[in-house]
Structure 1
Amino acid sequence: MPNATDGPVPIPEKPEFILDKERFEEDSLRLEVDSENSPVEAVRLVVPVTDDPSLIAITFRFWIISFFFCVMGAVIEQYYYYRSTTGTFSIFFVSLASYALGKGMAKVLPSRKVTLAGYTMSLNPGPFNIKEHAMIGISVSTAASAAYATHILSATDLYLNYRVDALGALLLIITTQSVGYGMAGMLRRYLVYPAEMVWWSNLVQVVLYNALHNTYEFRMRRMVRGWSYMKFFWVVCCTIFVYEFIPQLLAPVLVYFDWICWFNPFNKDFWAIFSSISGGGVLSLSFDWTSIGGSTLYLPLSAQLCTYAGMVLNYWILLPIMWLTNTLGTKTYGRPLTTRLFFDNGTRFDIKTALNPDYTLDETKYNAGPPANMTPLYAIVFMTLRLGNGLADMQGSFISLTGCVVHVICFHGKAILKIFRQVMSDDSEDIHTKMMKVYPEVPQLWYAAFYVIMTGLAILTCEVYQLQLPWWGLLLALFIGWVLTLPIGVMYAITGYGPGLNVITELICGYVLPGRPIANMTFKCYGYMAMHQCLNLVSDLKLGHYMKIPPRSMFISQFWGTIVGSCFNYMTMTLIINSQRNALNGTTPDPNNLWTGQRIESFWGSGLIYGALGPARIFAWDGKYGFVFFGFLIGAIVPVIQWCLSKRFPSVQWSKFNVSILASGMTAFPNGYSVGTTGLIIVCLVFQYYIFRYHKNWWKKYTFILSSALDTGAAFTGLVIFLFLGGGISSKLAVTVPSWWGDHVAEDGTNDPYLAVNRCGAANSKWTGGT
């Protein structure tokens, strides 16, 4: 008992049993959330389990800001398609810039309402919120690409002098970009709702949006020295922004750091093996962050190692062997990596000499001369594939396609069936799927009607505009997309990698419609883009799922971005071809090496191989390149062997080895070069092996925000150089870097005494060694 002299006993504000009850309820709620949360650790770490349904996603600010950045993204991406230096319109730049614009508009716009077409909205509904911000990014990501259909339009214009008129071109672009919508709507139950379908690249954007808007989960986190998430982001972003001016502008030798070439720069064999621009890039380094990319920090270790193993196998082992032994005449064609076709003596083959007036192959003219050949390493591209850590990079071929399907069946078949059953019964939903049920879904009828309309317009386009593709051929292309999209989507959602359908579609069309290069390119475009755009849209739907954006708003934003992007893709393509025709078709090389038709030439080369000449002729079993068909067998058998070994030796994680992903590393060319392979491997091992295994708490805390900051800063540097220092806005602003060791350029433009900044190759092809 307390003594009276001790004074009055303080009465607690709340009885102890009430405090215990509240703590118990909080703990129970947290346990309930944890039990329903995503089973994927990375998702649990970065995706908040909160939502505010009162936030408006489609606002006046959304329409204005998204239109501005959709136009900018479509123009810049189409511009880079014709440039010798690659570049991308960073979605991280859009996120930062749109955030600043949105905040500014929220301060200055009046709150009065306007009515347009019967729809009323406020000019300023309140503070710029996270949902409309994410919606802007989603619409821009849909628009900011060089539409695949522009490859067809560019190739026919430059190489056949056949230009489709504006209406036909726009219909071709819009239908190829939109036909995947119906598929996305049907497959969202299997590729969006299940927690196991992660779609890894979205996690970085979730971190960035929440950090910018300082949501509760991110406001409570503290980084090094007590910094907030945003302070850490800006410090890293600004640091890499300043640094990137060195490799991207002042010293491009750091981009292609082919140090072994320096021991013998005038030896042609060294050039072919160690140059990362024209050769294998063996042991090449790159100190340019854009050649590494933030996804290297967080994509699954096994998937990345499979990719790099393929790169080492093809470029560090097969290429040197084939070049030094002159296998299949590798040296005859001048360089190991090129997409051009040649005669046996190494002179270039021109298809126009063997075409009829309707652009079909004239068998008599072609058979009158020697047969056309491709370089052996280009043939390997068709046997394997090129994959990317982004959907825009996906391409596919024989090993990858069968390898992907069989691997998914063997190692994920039971899980997929389980997911299907769960989806049908609505059991075992994670908390994000349950939270999204508060919003009305997009009816399947919307997606089905949209798919039917776009298919009808696609048939009309093919029939009216001399694309050589009959209506049944178009339906066959779309059917192929339907059949293969689900297994490829599962693989991409889980691993971050997945094959495309471009090569398998052109192979099928080559047998079904031989001698028609335009039909082959069109068939490939519709078959490939049906799958590719479907997965792009599904990926964005998953981002909307993580951000708790109403599905109907998502549908509107995606279609809005597609329409705006298609129109400005076409306008940009037309302006550039009109002004740079001779540089793009190779008639007159660009003296400054700024414009190139390499990507168009690669696309056109495939059209010639599969469309004009046909796979039955080029890949005949008794010919030089019949070996490529063994890719189907390899891709089908290897996963089955792995599955059998997993039953015999269950302690080994056989599913981590994916032959489809391994084949991806074997074809960094033709859409790029094998730049900085060594650096990729080092960064991957440091983050995904050492730090993830031995400093996991650090990895959890810093990886995604670090990846976002590095990619954003590097993208900002490229954009500043492109718009200002490179003369993108005006030639008067262009800055010429003085010639020095890091960017040595001779007065005659030959880069003497070396061919390029990687110091690997003799000027004017005057070699002193090698053959």
Structure 2
Amino acid sequence: MDDVGYLKTKYMAQIESPVDIVAASVLTGDNPETPCLTVRFWILSTVMTIGLSAISQYSYFKPFLWQFSFVTVQVLSYPLGKFLEWVLPKSDISFFGQKVLLNPSEFNFKEHMLICVAAVSGGGFAEAINLITIDSLILDKNISSVMDFGKSLALIIFTQILGFGISGYLLNILVRPSAMVWPSTLVNVTLFNTLHKRYVNGKVILKLVVLMLIILITFVYQLFPLYVYPELSSIAILCYLGYKSQLAINLGSGFRGLGIMNFSFDWNIIGLIQPLVTPFWAQVNFYAGSVFMLWIIMPILYFGFNAWDSRKHGIVSKNLYSSDNNLLGMDYFLSIDNSARIKTQTNSTNLKLSNLNMNSTVGAGSFIKSSPEIMIPAYMIMACGFAFAAIASTISHTWLYYRHSIKKRITGNNDQNDDIHVKGISVYKPVSGFLFFTIFLVSLVGLVYIGKNSGYSTSNWHVLISVTLSVVLSLPIGIIQAISNIQISSRIFFRVIQGLLSQNNNAVSNGFFTLIGSNTISQCLEMVSNFKMGLYLKVPPRKVFLSQFYGCIIGAITNLAVYIIILRHKKDELSSILVSSNLDNLGGSYIEHANGFGKDWSIGSARKFYISSIIWSIVGPNQFYGFSSKYKYIYIVVSLGFLLPIPFYYLYKNNPERKWHLVNVPLFMFGTLAVTMVSTNYIISGFLVGFLFQFVICRYCHEFWEKYNYLSSGGLDVGNELCIGFLFICFSILGKSLGIGRWTIPKENLESCFYEKSM
């Protein structure tokens, strides 16, 4: 496939895999007798899934959501597996008439991978919890009843396993081809090989020592930007040079400005797109999009044209304002949702308006009487347009570059080109296509029922449209992720589509539609990625599927159980927080707030989810989408997104030696809207690290890069997450101090950029 031409090197003829980075990281041999679903697997997968899921759900109600990556679960589960290898007797037991060995052999990499797949699949925070939170805290539903508990659990499970069902039709296209590398899986494979002393490249004992050292050093290092000296997270050079200058703040701040000459030494920010893993060509496209939006387009719109009265707001503000430039509070959004419900009579439950601060600038009464116009900051207007453009360009780019390969894979005419890893995994039975279809069908029927009968006011057709779009988009988004390590977000796309389909609908309907669409794609591609990792490690596909499915079920039950326990004790407090008029800026970083790891309760994720649902479902059709709207020109950006891959494709076809195929418009478009998710201080530091490892070291110290690059990436991520976990336990759970003082006194912000509150 064209987009991976960069991977071919002069050593290609000397290696067994068509892609040299895979050959350097992945072994080709296999022992089909290696036990997988052992007693150790069932014990550790269950315990770790429950534990990680409980922690993630607890942190959902804190200012900082603590989740666990695959590499961290790998490192945490390894000593537990070795411990069970040591303590379990080497005898057998009878289980349903079958003899089962308690401790069949040494703790091996195959059962280790399956434990991690289960724990990561179920150990995170379920996106459906946001919708359940709106139900229980705003609509005041009692999900503790057996019926509502069952519906909530079904919602969590179906919105995850629907993606599992879709993954079946993608395996031939996204897993079997060598070009579909899935770079992040190579980090996991490298760690498995290192931990289990499997010789790939270099001395194993040395690589293990290097891994442990990187984890330890990163853990200690991250204490400084996260706690001791948080100014390291965002060093705004322009703010120091132009003290209290509004221009310097707009240009240089990482939290409220464009991030020009802004450096970060925090791995949470530097590692936004995994710079040691993501191919350099992909990073160039992504960061080029960010620079284009933040350092070229925004200054022109803001300083040059004052587009959409943008100077009334912060240059990258993510808040919403009234026409008289007052910040809109939560009471405003609750009142619009309540009015829409009354108007459409879609739900007899009124929102909890008694909790609102009616003295705020734009309250419930204001909306009902005058419905003030919402003012959107210029960056958010552009980001929404580029979000659609990213999806449009993903479709056209995939069609141009991959249509012939996709057709061959679908018809089975390309099987002779399977590499040695595909041939190695072929000795195991694949997952039945009937099983994929059954899971898909059951999930679809379940979601149709829930949409009609659980207060979400979502018609059967809307559920079918959301599912159809997720099926269609999973392939192009999956191809981009498989070659670049970056997943194009589809959340805004689904929100806008639902708003267009359902004029004046309620917020939970928009949230339900978006949850089905975007979460299905994410879950589908997670399953596909795990199948690719299983292919690299020669783990039977059926057991990979079973482990992810098992983890999903256990995690869903744990998520909901912990949620209900916390709700029973903190419902009034959480409800008050959720509907409080005061809104933090909808962007920014947890580092910016002094209580990022504090004991205070928070519910920021649900607030953002709910406000976005209202904006794109109720307000959106009236003010944003119409061709009479002042934002109508944003449709030009969407059209450009679809058309822009075409000239680059024909430039490549006519001049293949010029590397035009490395221009990836979807990644460029996605880079333009990264600030909707993070602060702007990622650009310089992230690019410099990526340039150092993926260009300089990869090109000029390639042997060293092959041995230690992915190992270093894993060590950095693990050390960082362990440090976050340590601080989270100390402050959020135990409420204890570290016993060491901060080097600076907390102040209004961390950058010496003294911006106005309205920004």
TM-score, normalising length: structure 2: 0.86
Partner of 1:171: 154
8 Å contact from structure 2 (residues 228, 743) kept in 1: no
Name the SS for the 1:297 alignment partner: coil
Partner of 2:741: 738
Following superposition, the deviation at residue 253 of structure 1 comes to 0.8
Partner of 1:152: 131
8 Å contact from structure 1 (residues 76, 89) kept in 2: no
Instruction: Tell me if 1:582 matches 2:576.
Output: yes
Instruction: Tell me if 1:760 matches 2:753.
Output: yes
8 Å contact from structure 2 (residues 72, 718) kept in 1: yes
Pair 334,646 (structure 1): closer, same or farther in 2 beyond 3 Å: closer
Pairs within 5 Å for 1:285-304? 285-293=263-271, 295-304=274-283
Pair 627,305 (structure 1): closer, same or farther in 2 beyond 3 Å: same
Distance, in Å, in 1 between the alignment partners of 2:57 and 2:299 is 35
Higher deviation after alignment, 472-481 or 68-77: 68-77
8 Å contact from structure 2 (residues 319, 327) kept in 1: no
Q: Could you tell me which amino acid in structure 1 is paired with residue 517 of structure 2? A: G
Q: 1:196 aligns with which of 179, 191, 196?
A: 179
Pair 88,267 (structure 1): closer, same or farther in 2 beyond 3 Å: farther
Partner of 2:621: 615
Pair 119,452 (structure 1): closer, same or farther in 2 beyond 3 Å: farther
Instruction: Tell me if 1:316 matches 2:295.
Output: yes
Pair 676,86 (structure 1): closer, same or farther in 2 beyond 3 Å: farther
Q: Could you tell me which amino acid in structure 1 is paired with residue 479 of structure 2? A: V
8 Å contact from structure 1 (residues 56, 132) kept in 2: yes
Partner of 2:519: 529
Partner of 1:477: 466
Pair 550,664 (structure 1): closer, same or farther in 2 beyond 3 Å: same
Partner of 1:13: none
8 Å contact from structure 2 (residues 421, 535) kept in 1: yes
Distance, in Å, in 1 between the alignment partners of 2:510 and 2:492 is 10
Instruction: Tell me if 1:57 matches 2:36.
Output: yes
Pair 499,622 (structure 1): closer, same or farther in 2 beyond 3 Å: same
Q: Could you tell me which amino acid in structure 1 is paired with residue 335 of structure 2? A: T
How much identity, in percent, do the aligned residues show? Answer: 26
Following superposition, the deviation at residue 613 of structure 1 comes to 2.2
Pair 765,446 (structure 1): closer, same or farther in 2 beyond 3 Å: closer
Partner of 1:342: 322
Pair 72,588 (structure 1): closer, same or farther in 2 beyond 3 Å: farther
8 Å contact from structure 1 (residues 410, 643) kept in 2: yes
Q: 2:71 aligns with which of 92, 95, 102?
A: 92
Q: 2:701 aligns with which of 695, 699, 714?
A: 695
Partner of 2:448: 459
Higher deviation after alignment, 109-118 or 58-67: 109-118
Distance, in Å, in 2 between the alignment partners of 1:232 and 1:592 is 34
Higher deviation after alignment, 431-440 or 265-274: 265-274
Name the SS for the 1:726 alignment partner: helix
Following superposition, the deviation at residue 526 of structure 1 comes to 0.7
Q: 1:260 aligns with which of 238, 242, 266?
A: 238
Pair 716,602 (structure 1): closer, same or farther in 2 beyond 3 Å: same
Name the SS for the 2:263 alignment partner: coil
**Greater radius of gyration (CA):** 1
Pair 429,689 (structure 1): closer, same or farther in 2 beyond 3 Å: same
Following superposition, the deviation at residue 190 of structure 1 comes to 1.6
8 Å contact from structure 2 (residues 499, 616) kept in 1: yes
What are the superposed Cα offsets for residues 107-127 of structure 1, whole Å, 9 maximum, x if unpaired? 111233344566653222221
Pairs within 5 Å for 1:607-756? 607-615=613-621, 617-723=623-729, 725-728=730-733, 730-731=734-735, 733-735=736-738, 738-741=741-744, 744-745=745-746, 751=747, 755-756=748-749
Pair 324,443 (structure 1): closer, same or farther in 2 beyond 3 Å: same
Instruction: Tell me if 1:131 matches 2:110.
Output: yes
Distance, in Å, in 2 between the alignment partners of 1:734 and 1:357 is 46
Distance, in Å, in 2 between the alignment partners of 1:635 and 1:185 is 29
Following superposition, the deviation at residue 600 of structure 1 comes to 2.9
8 Å contact from structure 1 (residues 36, 429) kept in 2: no
Q: Could you tell me which amino acid in structure 2 is paired with residue 187 of structure 1? A: L
Pair 673,451 (structure 1): closer, same or farther in 2 beyond 3 Å: same
Name the SS for the 1:121 alignment partner: strand
Following superposition, the deviation at residue 146 of structure 1 comes to 2.0
What are the superposed Cα offsets for residues 378-425 of structure 1, whole Å, 9 maximum, x if unpaired? 1222111xxxxxxxxxxxx2111111111122223333334445x456
Q: Could you tell me which amino acid in structure 1 is paired with residue 282 of structure 2? A: A
What are the superposed Cα offsets for residues 441-494 of structure 1, whole Å, 9 maximum, x if unpaired? 221111111111111221221222110101221111111111221122112111
Distance, in Å, in 2 between the alignment partners of 1:280 and 1:82 is 30
Pair 324,88 (structure 1): closer, same or farther in 2 beyond 3 Å: farther
Pair 420,464 (structure 1): closer, same or farther in 2 beyond 3 Å: closer
8 Å contact from structure 1 (residues 489, 535) kept in 2: yes
Instruction: Tell me if 1:353 matches 2:335.
Output: yes
Q: Could you tell me which amino acid in structure 2 is paired with residue 437 of structure 1? A: S
Distance, in Å, in 2 between the alignment partners of 1:114 and 1:639 is 60
Instruction: Tell me if 1:328 matches 2:277.
Output: no
Q: 1:215 aligns with which of 195, 198, 220?
A: 198
Name the SS for the 1:756 alignment partner: coil
Instruction: Tell me if 1:569 matches 2:563.
Output: no
8 Å contact from structure 1 (residues 360, 515) kept in 2: no
- Structure 1: gaps spanning 5 or more residues: 1-32, 385-396, 746-750
Higher deviation after alignment, 303-312 or 91-100: 91-100
Pairs within 5 Å for 1:212-611? 212-217=195-200, 221-222=202-203, 228-293=206-271, 295-324=274-303, 326-333=306-313, 336-340=316-320, 342-348=322-328, 350-356=332-338, 359=341, 368-384=370-386, 397-421=387-411, 423-424=412-413, 426-516=415-505, 517-574=507-564, 575=566, 578=571, 579-587=573-581, 592=595, 594=598, 596-611=602-617
Following superposition, the deviation at residue 77 of structure 1 comes to 3.4
Pair 193,473 (structure 1): closer, same or farther in 2 beyond 3 Å: same
Pair 54,649 (structure 1): closer, same or farther in 2 beyond 3 Å: closer
8 Å contact from structure 2 (residues 227, 742) kept in 1: no
8 Å contact from structure 1 (residues 70, 140) kept in 2: yes
8 Å contact from structure 1 (residues 399, 634) kept in 2: yes
Higher deviation after alignment, 327-336 or 635-644: 327-336
Distance, in Å, in 2 between the alignment partners of 1:555 and 1:144 is 16
Q: Could you tell me which amino acid in structure 1 is paired with residue 487 of structure 2? A: G
- Structure 2: gaps spanning 5 or more residues: 1-11, 346-365, 584-592
Pairs within 5 Å for 1:25-40? 37-40=16-19
Distance, in Å, in 1 between the alignment partners of 2:389 and 2:628 is 20
Following superposition, the deviation at residue 287 of structure 1 comes to 1.0
Pair 242,403 (structure 1): closer, same or farther in 2 beyond 3 Å: same
8 Å contact from structure 1 (residues 249, 737) kept in 2: no
Q: Could you tell me which amino acid in structure 2 is paired with residue 77 of structure 1? A: S
Alpha-carbon RMSD across the aligned residues, in angstroms, is 2.8
Following superposition, the deviation at residue 632 of structure 1 comes to 2.4
Aligned residues: 703
8 Å contact from structure 1 (residues 338, 670) kept in 2: yes
Higher deviation after alignment, 327-336 or 540-549: 327-336
Distance, in Å, in 2 between the alignment partners of 1:553 and 1:100 is 22
Following superposition, the deviation at residue 60 of structure 1 comes to 1.3
What are the superposed Cα offsets for residues 211-260 of structure 1, whole Å, 9 maximum, x if unpaired? 11101335xx238xxx6211121222222222222222211111122232
Name the SS for the 2:535 alignment partner: helix
Partner of 2:354: none
Higher deviation after alignment, 78-87 or 132-141: 78-87
Partner of 1:18: none
Distance, in Å, in 2 between the alignment partners of 1:79 and 1:615 is 36
Distance, in Å, in 2 between the alignment partners of 1:537 and 1:222 is 32
8 Å contact from structure 2 (residues 237, 262) kept in 1: yes
